[in-house]
Amino acid sequence: MKRACLIALLVTMALAAVVDAAPAEARQLIAFGARDLGDDPTTYGYLELSLAPTLALGIEYRSEGVMSASLRHGVVQGIYGELQSQTDGDKQLLEIGGWRAMPLGQSLGLTGRIGAQGELGGTGIWARASAELNIDVTDQVALLAGAEMTLLKKDGRTSTWLGVGYSF
């Protein structure tokens, strides 16, 4: 399973590098916020760097000891791959899927993702879906609200977050 997940990640990265998409302005993003707003909230930090007009690298750290790195290809829709790991090295998850962003108004946007996820070295594969709403406060500052859900897994999980992002 571990070898198959690594091969799938490499194939996704190769496809992202060669698939043609419309060029876009390079834009970096840094965001901070709170996740799982229930009894035991955690915090997160996220950095997104444009590597090419249609390729972005995302790095996230969550205070419960989870770190992830992702590659996203496309301008308003495309494919992505993400590797998520516990900082103690206990568990690593690989996810591959599709994403789409759409404007809902002049200063309101929605981004959705759905992908297949599995644990490296594990045997099961399940789905994870997420949606994030962004409200532009200025050209560079946005408020973020999102939710994600694990699907097709016996012990599914739902998570929510609120944050603020700065584009530069």
Per-residue pLDDT of the chain (168 residues; tens, 9 = 90+): 444 444 444 445 544 444 444 444 567 999 999 999 777 899 999 999 999 999 999 999 999 999 999 999 999 999 999 999 998 878 899 999 999 999 999 999 999 999 999 999 888 999 999 999 999 999 999 999 999 999 999 888 899 999 999 999
Residue 2 sits at φ, ψ, to 5 deg, of -60, -45
- CATH placement of domain 2-167: 2.40.160.40
The residue behind tokens 């879906």 is: 129
How many residues in total does the chain contain? 168
The answer to whether the CB of 47 falls within 8 A of the CB of 58 is: yes
The domain segmentation of the chain, as residue ranges, is 2-167
Q: Which residues contact 16 (CB under 8 A, 6 or more apart)?
A: 54, 55, 71, 72, 73, 78, 79, 81
User: In which residue are the tokens 């043609």 written?
Assistant: 20
Quote the pLDDT of residue 4.
46
